[in-house]
């Protein structure tokens, strides 16, 4: 393991020299193709939610939770600052939602996945031009009520990932706590602080249930079936979700009230990153099951974990894990084809089989954009510190 802090000058050099020819992000043409493919392919609830987050980070960074300007967002956004594609997804979801449905997407099976669209709905509400239009606010509050008051919980209080039984999935941490935290940050006051704490508590409860002595998280526990493997995408979901909660807390006006929670989230994210990169392949990739060398390469999880690593380097001003992230970025650039599709990805439905040739992962497309935007933020950070 590299020293816990590496000088920024050395980091700047490593961007160019550590992995020759690969220490750079995607070019604009390729990024545009990845983006277009994501918008074309995203359909399931978690795919739409992850797409909106990726689009905000890449194309509208002032609205991203990684920027203080997002809290609160500007109430009026004119083109090109208006996130038109994000608002389009939010509007479609809200207008098509049955009036008697609390979750944003009814009958989804997952109690958690529809909540991933919640931040986009809140952005749409905050930036709406018709102040008498309450459809977005009502939809977001209904989603929150569903999570807090309707969905079953574990005996310890963890909100279930599924609506039919109590079952905890690592995926939940990306879908639900960031929405609750973002809702609380815009809500403000004591109610807002209560929701920020609730977001943190769900991260804590899920870590308690899924983390083991390896530092990695098991995928699924409780309910009618379990998955005790250290599924790479599950660990990536968990790390990325906690990162979004951490950044939201850090950038809200109530952030100073959550210093201890932020410190814990930082530690828990780093646990996953350190434990994951210990198993990195020579080409920069990770296996579908992180610590199983007989598994297959999964570039989706590789991209998402690398994006978290870049973001954490900026957040902590600590670059000790940048070398594996740069290697991972290099691997990603070699796994996006000429048409802008990420290949060598896992099937997000089966978890443990690769997608067949010609099939594509919408979440993988979003993860590439999350990585690209995180790399850009890190590059700007290094440049600023060296000038």
pTM of the predicted protein model? 0.93
The residue among 169, 166, 145, 144 whose CA lies nearest residue 157 is: 166
pLDDT tens per residue across span 327-383: 999 999 999 999 999 999 999 999 999 999 999 999 999 999 999 999 999 999 988
pLDDT tens per residue across span 157-196: 999 999 999 999 999 999 999 999 999 999 999 999 999 9
pLDDT-based confidence at 312, cuts 50/70/90?
very high
Largest CA distance in the chain: 57
The residue among 313, 191, 196, 205 whose CA lies nearest residue 248 is: 196
For range 82-101, the mean pLDDT: 96
Angle at 242 between CA 106 and CA 170, to 5 degrees: 55
For range 95-115, the mean pLDDT: 96
Reduce the DSSP state of residue 293 to 3 states and report it: coil
Sorted by where each begins, the domain ranges of the chain are 49-215
State phi, psi for 4 to the nearest 5 degrees: -65, -20
Rg (CA), the chain: 19
pLDDT tens per residue across span 6-58: 333 344 444 444 333 335 899 999 999 999 999 999 999 999 999 999 999 99
How far apart are the C-alpha atoms of 117 and 45, rounded to whole Å? Answer: 7
pLDDT at residue number 76 = 73
pLDDT at residue number 23 = 55
How far apart are the C-alpha atoms of 290 and 351, rounded to whole Å? Answer: 13
pLDDT at residue number 81 = 72
């Amino acid at each position: 393991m590299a020293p816990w802090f590496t000088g920024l000058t050395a980091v700047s050099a490593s961007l160019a020299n550590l992995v020759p020819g690969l220490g750079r992000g995607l070019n604009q043409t390729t990024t545009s193709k990845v983006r277009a493919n994501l918008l074309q392919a995203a359909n399931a609830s978690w795919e739409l939610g992850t797409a909106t987050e990726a689009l905000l980070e890449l194309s509208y960074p002032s609205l991203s939770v990684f920027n203080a300007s997002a809290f609160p967002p500007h109430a009026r956004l004119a083109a090109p600052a208006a996130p038109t594609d994000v608002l389009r997804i939010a509007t479609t979801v809200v207008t098509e939602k049955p009036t008697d449905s609390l979750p944003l997407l009814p009958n989804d099976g997952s109690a958690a996945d529809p909540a991933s669209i919640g931040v986009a709905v809140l952005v749409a509400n905050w930036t709406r031009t018709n102040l008498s239009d309450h459809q977005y606010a009502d939809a977001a509050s209904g989603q929150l009520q569903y999570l807090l008051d309707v969905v079953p919980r574990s005996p310890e209080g963890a909100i279930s990932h599924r609506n039919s039984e109590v079952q905890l999935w690592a995926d939940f941490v990306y879908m639900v706590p960031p929405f609750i935290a973002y809702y609380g940050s815009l809500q403000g006051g004591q109610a807002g602080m209560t929701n920020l704490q609730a977001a943190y508590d769900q991260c804590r409860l899920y870590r308690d249930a899924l983390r083991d002595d390896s530092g990695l998280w098991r995928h699924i526990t409780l309910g009618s079936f379990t998955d005790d493997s250290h599924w790479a995408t599950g660990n990536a979901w968990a790390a990325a979700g906690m990162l979004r909660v951490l950044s939201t807390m850090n950038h809200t006006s109530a952030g100073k009230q959550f210093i201890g929670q932020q410190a814990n989230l930082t530690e828990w994210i780093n646990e996953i990153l350190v434990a994951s990169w210990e198993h990195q392949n020579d080409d920069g990739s990770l296996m579908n099951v992180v610590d199983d060398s007989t598994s297959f390469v999964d570039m989706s999880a590789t991209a998402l974990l690398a994006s978290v690593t870049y973001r954490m380097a900026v957040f902590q001003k600590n670059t000790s894990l940048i070398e594996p992230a740069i290697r991972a970025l290099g691997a990603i650039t070699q796994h996006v084809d000429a048409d802008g599709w990420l290949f060598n990805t896992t099937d997000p439905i089966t978890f443990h089989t690769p997608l067949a040739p010609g099939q594509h992962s919408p979440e993988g497309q979003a993860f590439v954009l999350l990585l690209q935007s995180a790399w850009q933020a890190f590059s700007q950070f290094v440049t600023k510190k060296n000038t």
